[in-house]
């Protein structure tokens, strides 16, 4: 039986196609203005890779910011449920999922059945979200993917005090003007971000195993800072792109509903 | 030690919550009590081996943890304090004493109790009005504090001890006032930043050490050349300003801060107590009546009046009225004050800022424009 | 005498060259990370346009957030004073100037001589700044110019969180996902922006003529909504690009500065 | 503020809407549909009200009467005083003073107008308020600062020691409008003699102030009349709250608003008593039929609101509850803490009683009552002390058998935002899922209903409540 999950976020859209226990295809595209478009595109892409057509999909579940606009799904599930499900399927020992998406950061606590016990979002503020890093990367004219490595070369330890994206940007620019090393600034941003997410997670309690999901998990700088700040081992999902975890969760739901 | 060396020493002192002098005093068996808000009488926290320490968060950066608990709609001062406490930077305190000065501080104590439950914490329920009933209430409140202090720290809170505390505080205030008055001169020998440094130290170190320092300062300041190249004499009005950055930024644009009216400044901070009165009543009375704070809601005209008088007394060209973002009581008052001052013919600038200075460039622009507007 | 004004803002940098109060060269460029680089670039552009060389400049005044980092200026003056003076040159009848820069928004009242008598800035919060519109335009996937035109096409503008760029952003995405018309969202953004500015302008009790400078002055959606809200027509200068106001003011200050010195000598 | 807004007074516009509306209410459905065609937006407001039957109609008539009194006050030689929602207007009615209670007025403005009170909220900021100050006063107060309301004679508030931003609003208005101002000062404690005496002295002082301002002496019989009415109202409220404990809860979600607006505009007045009576009857019918007050008649979950219970500009929140079969178990702000109500068993010494035997007992009663109004009592001190926020929310949740608790306030509310996180964690420990809404109950520019609803859906689904 073939099912699909589609996660339409604020920055990217992801699709996953599963056959029984296996992910047979996956795709990620940058979000268009209209979530319906993004969903359509990313799904087509995934189908093409798998050499399938819409008709082959028995059941599809949507999630993410744009979930209500996805035409081809039979059901929608919240991001929280999907991230929890995806992570637990991939790693049954997981008890805490830390997800940093484009628009918000969340921490999810699971029980040994994979059921969500508690969850928490960051207060309304973009600091500590994917968008935050994106804006900063632009401000420093470095490319988002490279940030992780650049941050590691930091020699000096500085702090960024301003948490508002827009003003953190000003501060970053003035730090550069003061001749501060870009790597040191990026390093500070990573630590600030990790710090916020960790205190968020701690407020609902953190138990091992801890898994980090979402696009930002690919940023080794934030990832390491997170483990460092939590003072616990933090894990990647086994063998899958952390960015598609939500879509995987959605696909798993699809399998149940089908 | 020259005036400037002394200043550098004082800066080191106020750069750390636990400064070297305090550290020594603690080693000698004294008990530092953290407090904030002018409605906490310092005299009561200096009884019999206690040392009042105004809690600050020097060099505070992010307030990640505090924002989760106190939320991000409370003022950055209370958030920074919680952050410091959570980072164990105030573990050296023997206890915390607050006054219900504002909701932020009220909730700060709630969160402190919840998160780090200190051995000793107390909230003085200071009334929001003057008058006899309120004064009685406040005196009773101070009595409760004294009992609690005596119980917990086994200290002497008798009338004699109180009298001694009053006398000591007066001595300290007298010598601080002498330096404060130097700022009335046409060309003061001391800048606002330097004075702020002295005031802040006086709120965070043992009185003995401070008096020694003040004696030196008095000698050295006489031999010092006067401030000449400044564009305007300014007064700063507002709430809690407990580092030198803000004043320094103002003066970096060419203004000279010669007068103040904020919680941690010389006015109304350096109130003198009448040593012939019953100490507790005198302390309560002066604290309740002479701490001019918008939390009292009523008497706006009195507060405005006293600011105008001070401005004239120190011959200032303009007044900078500041409040920390999210501060309710000062936030509302600054709006009214600015209008009132302008009506009185005093140029005024309203500034909203964060506890820890950010966006210095923007701050400088506004102050420069303010000076330009005054043709300075 | 040729004087220069250089306005290094957070988003764009501008340079203006003036000869007896006439613009002989001007240039606008995107600000680089280092203000000195941006200043150089803008000034070179202006010099080229005017076809003169740097040493022909008698005096240069710098303004904008990078004003103290510009190597070749004689004096630095706050952008508030410069915008007052510049706007006055652009439109002699102006008494209230609303300037929206990349990182801040200012409202100022000037007297007949162009001197600032009252001003207020909003620079603690990014909403109500040029950045706000930039971010929103990006979320809508349109360019900033088109955003302005949307108010005209809108039927029922959505209500947006005007208090914080980030919150507003979340709302915009939500509206998009709930399938609202792009025009209505765009108009909502312009309205939110206009409301923020109106609060500032009303705080200093704006009097006519009211003029808008800075990049956002080109956004007709914001300008018309703001006119409605203030109940007074907002005039946009035609004499030169309103974005240059700060630099023009700086160049005029440069001239005054020179003459004063001349007087002293 | 846009010039056209300045054309009409805030309170006058509300009156002009309510006056015809309260008469339409008695019309036939046909007449109603006809009228709706001319006021399409207002249909969305009026419809749900009228759906509630007699209580809905009496509610409309009650607020209409209120605005009528307000607009005829000066003509009748009565004084007008601005007050706040955690202040009982009963004393005003005893002295023939007409109260302008800011928060209900802001809420009404939000409900009645498409653009809500935005222009007034912003105007307050233009006059010097900070944007971070509480929106519940700013809305209506903005209008009175702009001179767009009946002329105010003096101000009364009882929030110093309870809520800074509220008290500040009144202090600001007093200085700005240059009007006499009396503020009751509340210590953090409650129920002990020291505190009660302090209250009493303070309250008597306020009565003297009101007498001076209104030029009227406090009339004993009038006071007794008002208190007897209060007594009746408390009885009815107590009946309602008893019924609210039933499963299913026979009260419709909107009753909370009726109760809240009624108490803070009309405590001690027969209009409010009549409204309460009709609510008791209606709920009684439901109760005896074992029917839930929800339109579906089926109750899936029981929700207690530990602070404000409405969302900004419309009935969205209540509608949403109704659609999802979630019973509204009241909000902490709608509780009265009269000694006869069902939830005070566990709240020793923190209730009030009404004793009209002589002047002293009467003044004592009314002072006690005022000191026990929800926000004054529950949100002034340490959140985790007896009879404070946490304690009382837990008692309510238990007594009314709530399944979950939701916090909804305004970002301007330092006092609750500053402790809601520890509060929520403690509540969760007692097994009640808690959801914290980021919306502003008076200004939906803070968070759109779309965003708010999404989070609500998520909460009820993931916490296994729906």
Indicate the SS3 state at residue D373: coil
State the pLDDT at residue A127. 63
* Domain of residue A36, residue span: 1-91+238-258
- Which pLDDT band holds residue C12 (cuts at 50, 70, 90)? confident
Statement to judge: residues A75 and A201 lie in one domain: no
CA B47 to chain C, closest CA, distance in angstroms equals 43
More confident residue, D26 or A51: A51
Statement to judge: residues A115 and A225 lie in one domain: yes
Q: What is the CATH number of the domain that holds A145?
A: 3.30.420.40
Statement to judge: residues C153 and C127 lie in one domain: yes
Statement to judge: residues A107 and A204 lie in one domain: yes
State the pLDDT at residue B116. 93
Against chain A, the chains showing at least 3 CB pairs within 8 Å are B, C, D
Biggest distance spanned by C-alpha atoms of chain A = 60
Statement to judge: residues C257 and C142 lie in one domain: no
Closest C-alpha to D466, from D329, D331, D327: D327
CA C196 to chain A, closest CA, distance in angstroms equals 17
- B332 at the D interface (CB within 8 A)? yes
Statement to judge: residues C31 and C139 lie in one domain: no
- Which pLDDT band holds residue B165 (cuts at 50, 70, 90)? very high
pTM of the shown model:
0.90
Beta B95-99 vs B31-36: how paired, if at all?
A: parallel
Indicate the SS3 state at residue B70: coil
Number of domains in chain C: 2
% of residues, chain B, pLDDT over 90: 82
Residue C165 has pLDDT above 80, yes or no: no
Count of CA atoms in the C-beta half-sphere (13 A) of A253: 28
CA torsion angle B229 B232 B236 B241 (round to 10): -30
Query: Of A80, A118, A123, which is closest to D458 when you measure between CB atoms?
Result: A80
Tell which of C123, C174, C208 to mutate to test the D interface (max D CBs under 10 Å). C174
Nearest C-alpha in D relative to B79:
D418
Residues of C in contact with D123 (CB under 8 A): 202
- B139 at the D interface (CB within 8 A)? no
Query: 3-state SS of B176-218?
Result: HHHHHHHHHCCCCCCCHHHHHHHHHHHCCCCHHHHHHHHHHHH
Closest C-alpha to A194, from A165, A216, A172, A168: A216
State the pLDDT at residue D448. 79
| Cβ contact, residue pair B67, A196, below 8 Å | yes
- B212 at the D interface (CB within 8 A)? no
Tens-place pLDDT, residues B219-230: 999 888 898 889
Tens-place pLDDT, residues D447-462: 878 888 888 998 999 8
Cβ atoms of A226 and A198 within 8 Å: the answer is yes
Number of domains in chain A: 2
DSSP assignment, residue C69?
G
CA B55 to chain C, closest CA, distance in angstroms equals 26
Statement to judge: residues C167 and C252 lie in one domain: no
Distance CA A251, CA A162 (A): 39
| Cβ contact, residue pair B297, D170, below 8 Å | yes
Residues of A in contact with C173 (CB under 8 A): 10, 65, 103
Query: Of B350, B359, B372, which is closest to C123 when you measure between CB atoms?
Result: B359
State the pLDDT at residue D176. 94
Statement to judge: residues A79 and A102 lie in one domain: no
Confirm whether B66 is domain-assigned: yes
Nearest C-alpha in C relative to A125:
C166
Count of CA atoms in the C-beta half-sphere (13 A) of C90: 32
Residues of A in contact with C10 (CB under 8 A): 170, 173
| Cβ contact, residue pair C169, A131, below 8 Å | yes
Residue C181 has pLDDT above 90, yes or no: no
- Which pLDDT band holds residue D222 (cuts at 50, 70, 90)? very high
Nearest C-alpha in D relative to C120:
D126
Tens-place pLDDT, residues A54-78: 999 999 999 988 888 888 999 999 9
- B334 at the D interface (CB within 8 A)? yes
Confirm whether B43 is domain-assigned: yes
State the pLDDT at residue A165. 61
| Cβ contact, residue pair B358, A171, below 8 Å | yes
CA C80 to chain B, closest CA, distance in angstroms equals 6
Query: Of D2, D125, D446, which is closest to C199 when you measure between CB atoms?
Result: D125
Encode burial over A83-109: b for 16+ CB neighbours within 10 A, e otherwise: bbbbbbbbeeebbbbbbbbbbbbbbbb
Least confident segment among B157-161, B188-192, B325-329, D96-100: B325-329
- Residues A5-34, mean pLDDT to the nearest whole number: 91
Residues of C in contact with A140 (CB under 8 A): 33
Indicate the SS3 state at residue C200: helix
Residues of C in contact with A103 (CB under 8 A): 169-170, 173
Confirm whether B193 is domain-assigned: no
Rg (CA), chain C: 19
Number of domains in chain B: 1
- B200 at the D interface (CB within 8 A)? no
Distance CA B61, CA A191 (A): 12
Residues of B in contact with A161 (CB under 8 A): 60-62, 356, 358
Statement to judge: residues C106 and C33 lie in one domain: no
Statement to judge: residues C191 and C120 lie in one domain: yes
- D458 at the A interface (CB within 8 A)? yes
Residue C33 has pLDDT above 80, yes or no: no
Nearest C-alpha in B relative to A201:
B68
Confirm whether B94 is domain-assigned: yes
| Cβ contact, residue pair C78, B352, below 8 Å | no
Statement to judge: residues A87 and A57 lie in one domain: yes
Residues of B in contact with C256 (CB under 8 A): none
State the pLDDT at residue C127. 64
Statement to judge: residues A108 and A85 lie in one domain: no
Statement to judge: residues C139 and C32 lie in one domain: no
% of residues, chain D, pLDDT over 70: 99
Tens-place pLDDT, residues C152-162: 888 888 887 65
Residue B4 CB partners (closer than 8 Å, separation 6+): none
Q: What is the CATH number of the domain that holds C37?
A: 3.30.420.40
CA C108 to chain A, closest CA, distance in angstroms equals 23
ipTM summary value = 0.87
CA C191 to chain D, closest CA, distance in angstroms equals 12
At which residue do the structure tokens 């955690």 appear? D86
Tens-place pLDDT, residues D294-313: 999 899 999 999 999 887 66
- Residues B255-279, mean pLDDT to the nearest whole number: 93
Closest C-alpha to C36, from C77, C67, C75, C5: C67
Statement to judge: residues C3 and C122 lie in one domain: no
Confirm whether B334 is domain-assigned: no
- Which pLDDT band holds residue C265 (cuts at 50, 70, 90)? very low
* Domain of residue B129, residue span: 19-156
Q: How many residues does chain B have?
A: 376
Statement to judge: residues C74 and C101 lie in one domain: no
Q: What is the CATH number of the domain that holds B89?
A: 3.40.50.11890
More confident residue, D231 or D440: D231
Residue C125 has pLDDT above 70, yes or no: no
- Residues D164-170, mean pLDDT to the nearest whole number: 93
Tens-place pLDDT, residues A95-146: 999 998 877 888 999 998 888 988 888 766 666 678 778 878 877 888 888 8
Statement to judge: residues C100 and C206 lie in one domain: yes
| Cβ contact, residue pair A159, B62, below 8 Å | yes
State the pLDDT at residue B247. 96
Statement to judge: residues C166 and C219 lie in one domain: yes
Q: What is the CB neighbour count within 10 angstroms for residue C149?
A: 16
Statement to judge: residues C224 and C252 lie in one domain: no
Q: Which long-range CB contacts under 8 A does B144-150 form with residues at least 24 apart?
A: B145/B44, B145/B97, B146/B44, B146/B280, B148/B120, B148/B122, B149/B44, B149/B47, B149/B50
Average pLDDT of every residue of chain D: 91
State the pLDDT at residue D374. 85
- Residues D318-344, mean pLDDT to the nearest whole number: 90
Least confident segment among A200-204, B60-64, B66-70, B87-91: B60-64
Tens-place pLDDT, residues D139-153: 999 999 999 999 999
- Residues D6-17, mean pLDDT to the nearest whole number: 93
| Cβ contact, residue pair B362, C78, below 8 Å | no
Query: Of A78, A123, A124, which is closest to D458 when you measure between CB atoms?
Result: A78
- Residues B335-342, mean pLDDT to the nearest whole number: 93
State the pLDDT at residue D4. 86
Against chain C, the chains showing at least 3 CB pairs within 8 Å are A, B, D
State the pLDDT at residue A156. 85
Query: Of B78, B104, B332, which is closest to D172 when you measure between CB atoms?
Result: B332
Tell which of D141, D418, D422 to mutate to test the B interface (max B CBs under 10 Å). D418
Statement to judge: residues A173 and A245 lie in one domain: no
Residue B39 has pLDDT above 70, yes or no: yes
- Which pLDDT band holds residue A162 (cuts at 50, 70, 90)? low
Tell which of D424, D439, D462 to mutate to test the A interface (max A CBs under 10 Å). D462
- Which pLDDT band holds residue C105 (cuts at 50, 70, 90)? confident
State the pLDDT at residue B264. 93
Statement to judge: residues A143 and A22 lie in one domain: no
Encode burial over B132-144: b for 16+ CB neighbours within 10 A, e otherwise: ebbbebbbebbee
- Residues B140-149, mean pLDDT to the nearest whole number: 97
Closest C-alpha to D435, from D459, D399, D411: D459
- Residues D79-99, mean pLDDT to the nearest whole number: 95
Q: What is the CB neighbour count within 10 angstroms for residue A220?
A: 14
* Domain of residue C145, residue span: 93-236
Average pLDDT of every residue of chain B: 93
Query: Of C161, C203, C229, which is closest to D447 when you measure between CB atoms?
Result: C161
Query: Starting at the edge strand that comes first in sequence, how are the strands of the sheet with D326-331 ordered?
Result: D326-331, D301-305, D404-409, D434-440
- Residues C3-9, mean pLDDT to the nearest whole number: 93
- B297 at the D interface (CB within 8 A)? yes
Residue D379 has pLDDT above 50, yes or no: yes
At which residue do the structure tokens 């598609």 appear? A244
Residue D234 has pLDDT above 90, yes or no: yes
Residues of B in contact with C123 (CB under 8 A): 359, 362, 366
% helix, strand, coil for chain B, step of 5: 55, 15, 35
Least confident segment among B64-78, B120-134, B206-220, D213-227: B64-78
Tens-place pLDDT, residues B283-336: 999 999 999 899 998 889 999 999 999 999 999 999 999 999 889 999 999 999
State the pLDDT at residue C29. 92
State the pLDDT at residue B126. 95
Query: Of C139, C170, C177, which is closest to A66 when you measure between CB atoms?
Result: C177
Closest C-alpha to C75, from C213, C240, C214, C260: C260
């Amino acid at each position: 039986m073939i099912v699909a999950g589609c996660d339409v976020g604020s920055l990217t859209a992801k699709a996953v196609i599963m056959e029984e226990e296996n992910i047979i295809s996956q795709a990620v595209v940058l979000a268009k203005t209209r979530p319906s478009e993004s969903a359509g595109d990313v799904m087509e892409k995934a189908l093409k890779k798998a050499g399938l057509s819409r008709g082959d999909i028995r059941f599809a579940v949507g999630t993410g910011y744009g979930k209500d606009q996805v035409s081809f799904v039979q059901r929608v599930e919240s991001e929280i449920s999907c991230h929890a499900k995806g992570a637990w399927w991939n790693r049954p020992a997981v008890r805490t999922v830390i997800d940093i998406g484009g628009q918000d950061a969340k921490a999810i606590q699971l029980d040994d059945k994979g059921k969500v016990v508690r969850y928490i979002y960051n207060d309304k503020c973009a600091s500590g979200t994917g968008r935050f890093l994106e804006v900063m990367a632009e401000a420093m004219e470095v490319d988002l993917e490279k940030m992780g490595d650049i941050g590691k070369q930091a020699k000096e330890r500085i702090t960024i005090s301003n948490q508002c994206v827009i003003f953190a940007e000003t501060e970053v620019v003035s730090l550069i003007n003061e001749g501060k090393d870009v790597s040191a600034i990026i390093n500070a941003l990573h630590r600030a971000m990790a710090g916020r997410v960790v205190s968020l997670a701690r407020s609902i309690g953190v138990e091992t195993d801890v898994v980090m999901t979402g696009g930002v998990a690919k940023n080794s700088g934030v990832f390491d800072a997170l483990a460092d700040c939590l003072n616990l081992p933090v894990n990647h999902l086994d063998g899958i792109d952390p960015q598609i975890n939500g879509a995987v969760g959605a696909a798993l739901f699809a399998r149940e509903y089908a | 030690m020259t005036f400037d060396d002394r200043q550098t020493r004082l800066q080191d002192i106020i750069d750390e919550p636990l400064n070297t002098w305090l550290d020594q005093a603690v080693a000698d068996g004294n008990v530092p009590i953290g407090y904030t808000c002018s409605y906490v009488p310092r005299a009561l926290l200096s009884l019999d081996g206690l040392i009042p320490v105004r809690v600050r968060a020097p060099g505070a950066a992010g307030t990640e943890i505090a924002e989760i608990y106190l939320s991000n709609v409370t003022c950055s001062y209370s958030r920074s304090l919680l952050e410091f406490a959570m980072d164990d930077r105030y573990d050296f305190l023997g206890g915390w004493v607050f006054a219900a000065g504002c909701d932020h501080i009220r909730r700060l104590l709630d969160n402190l109790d919840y998160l780090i439950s200190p051995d000793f914490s107390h909230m003085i329920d200071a009334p929001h009005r003057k008058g006899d009933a309120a004064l009685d209430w406040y005196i009773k409140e101070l009595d409760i504090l004294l009992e609690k202090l005596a119980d917990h720290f086994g200290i002497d809170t008798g009338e004699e001890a109180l009298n001694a505390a009053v006398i000591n505080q007066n001595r300290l205030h007298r010598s601080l006032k002498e330096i404060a008055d130097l700022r009335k001169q046409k060309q003061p020998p001391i800048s606002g930043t330097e004075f702020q440094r002295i005031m802040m130290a006086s709120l965070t170190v043992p009185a003995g050490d401070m008096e020694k320092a003040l004696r030196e300062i008095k000698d050295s300041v006489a031999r010092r050349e006067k401030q000449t190249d400044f564009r305007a004499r300014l007064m700063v009005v507002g709430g809690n300003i407990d580092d030198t950055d803000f004043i320094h930024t103002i003066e970096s644009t060419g203004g000279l801060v010669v007068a103040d009216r904020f919680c941690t400044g010389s006015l109304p901070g350096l109130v003198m107590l009448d040593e012939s009165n019953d100490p507790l009543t005198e302390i309560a009375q002066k604290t309740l009546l002479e701490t001019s704070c918008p939390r009292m809601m009523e008497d706006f005209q009195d507060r405005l009046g006293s600011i105008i008088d001070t401005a004239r007394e120190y011959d200032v060209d303009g007044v900078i009225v500041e409040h920390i973002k999210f501060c309710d009581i000062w936030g509302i008052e600054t709006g009214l004050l600015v209008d009132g001052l302008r009506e009185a013919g005093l140029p005024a600038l309203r500034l909203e800022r964060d506890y820890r200075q950010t966006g210095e460039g923007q701050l400088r622009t506004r102050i420069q424009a303010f000076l330009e507007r005054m043709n300075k | 005498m040729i004087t220069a004004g250089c306005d290094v803002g957070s988003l764009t940098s501008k340079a203006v060259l003036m000869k007896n109060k006439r613009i002989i060269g001007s240039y606008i460029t995107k600000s680089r990370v280092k203000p000195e680089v941006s200043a150089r670039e803008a000034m070179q552009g202006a010099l080229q346009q005017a076809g003169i060389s740097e040493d022909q400049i008698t005096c240069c005044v710098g303004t904008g957030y990078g004003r103290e980092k510009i190597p070749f200026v004689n004096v630095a003056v706050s952008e508030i004073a410069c915008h007052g003076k510049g706007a006055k040159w652009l439109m002699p009848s102006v008494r209230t100037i609303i300037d929206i820069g990349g990182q801040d928004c200012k409202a100022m009242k000037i007297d007949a001589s162009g001197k600032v008598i009252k001003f207020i800035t909003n620079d603690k919060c990014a909403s109500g700044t040029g950045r706000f519109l930039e971010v929103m335009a990006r979320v809508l996937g349109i360019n900033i110019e088109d955003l302005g035109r949307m108010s005209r096409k809108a039927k029922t503008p959505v209500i947006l969180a005007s208090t914080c760029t980030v919150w507003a952003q979340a709302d915009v995405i939500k509206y998009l996902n709930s399938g609202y018309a792009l025009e209505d969202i765009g108009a909502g953004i312009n309205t939110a922006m206009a409301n923020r500015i109106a609060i500032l302008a009303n705080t200093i009790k704006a009097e006519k003529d009211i003029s808008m400078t800075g990049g956002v002055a080109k956004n007709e959606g914001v300008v018309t909504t703001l006119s409605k809200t203030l109940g007074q027509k907002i005039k946009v200068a035609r004499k030169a690009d309103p974005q240059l106001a700060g630099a023009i003011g700086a160049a005029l200050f440069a001239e005054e500065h020179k003459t004063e010195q001349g007087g002293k000598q | 503020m846009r010039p056209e807004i300045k054309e009409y007074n805030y309170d006058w516009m509300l009156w002009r809407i309510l006056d015809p509306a309260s008469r339409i209410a008695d019309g036939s459905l046909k007449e109603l549909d006809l009228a709706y065609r001319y006021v399409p937006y207002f249909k969305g407001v009026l419809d749900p009200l009228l759906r509630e039957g007699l209580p809905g109609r009496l509610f409309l008539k009650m607020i209409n009467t209120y605005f009528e009194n307000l607009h005829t006050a000066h003509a009748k030689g009565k004084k007008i005083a601005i007050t706040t929602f955690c202040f009982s207007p009963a004393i005003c009615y005893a002295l023939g003073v007409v109260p302008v209670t800011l928060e209900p007025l802001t809420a009404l403005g939000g409900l009645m107008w498409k653009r809500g009170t935005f222009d007034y909220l912003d105007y307050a900021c233009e006059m010097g308020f900070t944007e971070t100050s509480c929106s519940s006063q700013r809305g209506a107060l903005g209008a009175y600062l702009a001179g767009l309301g009946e002329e105010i004679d003096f101000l009364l508030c009882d929030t110093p020691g309870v809520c800074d931003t509220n008290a500040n609003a009144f202090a600001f208005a007093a200085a700005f409008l240059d009007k006499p101002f009396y503020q009751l000062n509340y210590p953090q404690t409650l129920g002990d003699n020291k505190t009660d005496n302090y209250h009493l002295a303070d309250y008597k002082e306020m009565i003297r102030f009101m007498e001076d301002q209104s030029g009227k002496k406090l009339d004993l019989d009038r006071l007794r009349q008002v208190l007897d009415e209060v007594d009746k109202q408390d009885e009815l409220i107590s009946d309602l709250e008893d019924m609210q404990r039933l499963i299913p809860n026979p009260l419709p979600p909107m009753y909370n608003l009726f109760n809240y607006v009624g108490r803070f505009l009309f405590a001690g007045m027969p209009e409010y008593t009549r409204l309460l009576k009709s609510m008791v009857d209606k709920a009684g019918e439901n109760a005896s039929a074992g029917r839930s007050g929800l339109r579906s008649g089926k109750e899936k979950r029981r929700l207690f609101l530990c602070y404000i219970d409405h969302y900004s500009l419309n009935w969205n929140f209540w509608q949403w509850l109704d659609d999802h079969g979630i019973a509204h178990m009241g909000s902490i702000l709608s509780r009265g803490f009269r000694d006869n109500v069902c939830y005070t068993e566990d709240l020793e010494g923190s209730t009030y009683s009404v004793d009209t035997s002589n002047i002293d007992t009467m003044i004592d009663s009314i002072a006690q009552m005022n000191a026990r109004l929800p926000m004054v009592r529950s949100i002034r001190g340490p959140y985790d002390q007896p009879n404070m926020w946490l304690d009382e929310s837990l008692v309510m949740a238990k007594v009314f058998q709530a399944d979950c608790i939701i916090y909804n306030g305004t970002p301007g509310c330092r006092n609750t935002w500053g402790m809601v996180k520890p509060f929520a964690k403690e509540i969760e420990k007692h097994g009640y899922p808690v959801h914290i809404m980021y919306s502003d109950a008076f200004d939906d520019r803070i968070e759109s209903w779309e965003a708010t609803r999404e989070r609500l859906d998520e909460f009820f689904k993931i916490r296994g409540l729906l």
